[in-house]
């Protein structure tokens, strides 16, 4: 037996049990080193399909393939030791049928060893969520602004700002809850609606642009670190990492051109 015990990861039931008791902290993560840092402070890490925009320069999340999610999911699992890791199901990998969703979700969980998957869609995905949950795959739902549906929504638009929109989104929340989702992400949802959903459903609500009334919060890590050129209104930049990186690269380039780097302290001498 190893003398170095591996820290026990948080589980899906532990996340669900925090409903109404303790705020749930989460961030996206796409690589091992940021996962290792965030792991000390968050309850779950989401390997979001936002990596397509943040890391690979796509204009939306739609081009992200399943194998890319698996690749990044493995990296995050190698970096995180304590947090629950949730992996996004990318566009086209689950919508066709519950059977397609199961095949691909099972592949993600086998290949990454993550603890849960996330998929977008409310009432229309209820049968799929039920199918997966009944077969041992924990599902985090995602309603409100669903980025994979931007071509139907007409862009990244806030949801629930008029009461006429509420019934559909509330129905989505009820449907995914009854189908067996263990938590639901509310993205870009007006505060009064987010508060009502949070009160009405027995599973945790995870807000991203849905106000502090939710049971937990998630942000794209690069957005909150100040690495993204443009961020939504709901993002607070908790750091200026982008500026720090630029300053470091500028200093490096200047020293290379001035031949002051590598210095003697960075150079190997001949052994006597």
- Residue 6 lies inside a defined structural domain of this protein: no
Query: Which segments of the chain does DSSP mark as H helices, in order?
Result: 12-16, 32-38, 51-54, 66-79, 98-112, 126-134, 150-153, 166-179, 191-200, 221-224, 241-257
- Residue 3 lies inside a defined structural domain of this protein: no
Q: Measured on CA atoms in the order 63, 67, 73, 78, is the torsion positive or negative?
A: negative
Q: Which residues are catalytic?
A: 187
Share of the chain above pLDDT 70, in %: 95
CB 122 within 8 A of CB 173: yes
Query: What is the three-class DSSP state of 117?
Result: strand
- Residue 65 lies inside a defined structural domain of this protein: yes
Query: What's residue 35's pLDDT?
Result: 98
**Residue from 171, 180, 60, 198 nearest 116 by CA:** 180
**Residue from 147, 104, 94, 154 nearest 124 by CA:** 94
Place of tokens 């990044």: 72
Q: If you ran DSSP here, which 8-state letter would residue 89 be given? A: P
- Domains in the chain: how many in total? 1
- Residue 116 lies inside a defined structural domain of this protein: yes
**What is the residue range of 212's domain?**
12-240
- Residue 96 lies inside a defined structural domain of this protein: yes
Q: Give me the CATH number covering residue 44.
A: 3.20.20.60
- Residue 154 lies inside a defined structural domain of this protein: yes
- Residue 1 lies inside a defined structural domain of this protein: no
Reported as a single tens digit per residue, the pLDDT across 143-183 is: 999 988 877 766 666 776 788 889 999 999 999 999 999 99
Query: What's residue 1's pLDDT?
Result: 47
Is residue 23 over pLDDT 70?
yes
Entry pTM: 0.93
Reported as a single tens digit per residue, the pLDDT across 24-49 is: 999 999 999 999 999 999 999 999 99
Query: What's residue 149's pLDDT?
Result: 84
Pair of tokens at residue 115: 């603890």
């Amino acid at each position: 037996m190893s003398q170095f015990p591996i820290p026990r990861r948080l589980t899906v039931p532990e996340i669900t049990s925090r409903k109404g008791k303790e705020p749930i902290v989460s961030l996206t993560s796409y690589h091992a080193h940021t996962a290792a840092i965030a792991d000390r402070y968050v309850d779950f890490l989401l390997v979001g399909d936002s990596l397509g925009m943040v890391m690979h320069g796509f204009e939306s999340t739609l081009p992200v393939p399943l194998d890319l999610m698996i690749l990044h999911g493995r990296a995050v699992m190698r970096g995180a030791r304590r947090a629950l890791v949730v992996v996004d199901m990318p566009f086209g990998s689950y919508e066709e049928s519950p059977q397609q969703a199961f095949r691909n979700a099972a592949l993600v969980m086998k290949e990454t060893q993550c603890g849960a998957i996330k998929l977008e869609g409310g009432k229309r995905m209820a049968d799929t969520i039920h199918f997966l949950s009944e077969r041992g795959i924990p599902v985090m739902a995602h309603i409100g602004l669903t980025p994979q549906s931007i071509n139907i929504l007409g862009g990244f638009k806030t949801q629930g700002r008029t009461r006429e929109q509420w019934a559909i989104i509330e129905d989505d929340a009820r449907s995914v809850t009854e189908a067996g989702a263990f938590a639901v992400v509310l993205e870009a949802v007006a505060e009064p609606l987010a508060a009502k959903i949070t009160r009405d459903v027995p599973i945790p609500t995870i807000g991203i642009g849905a106000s502090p009334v939710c049971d937990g919060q998630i942000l794209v890590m690069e957005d909150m670190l100040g690495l993204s050129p443009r961020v939504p209104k709901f993002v607070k930049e908790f750091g200026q990492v982008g500026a720090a990186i630029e300053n470091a690269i500028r200093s490096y380039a200047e020293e290379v051109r001035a031949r002051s780097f590598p210095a003697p302290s960075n150079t190997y001498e001949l052994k006597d």
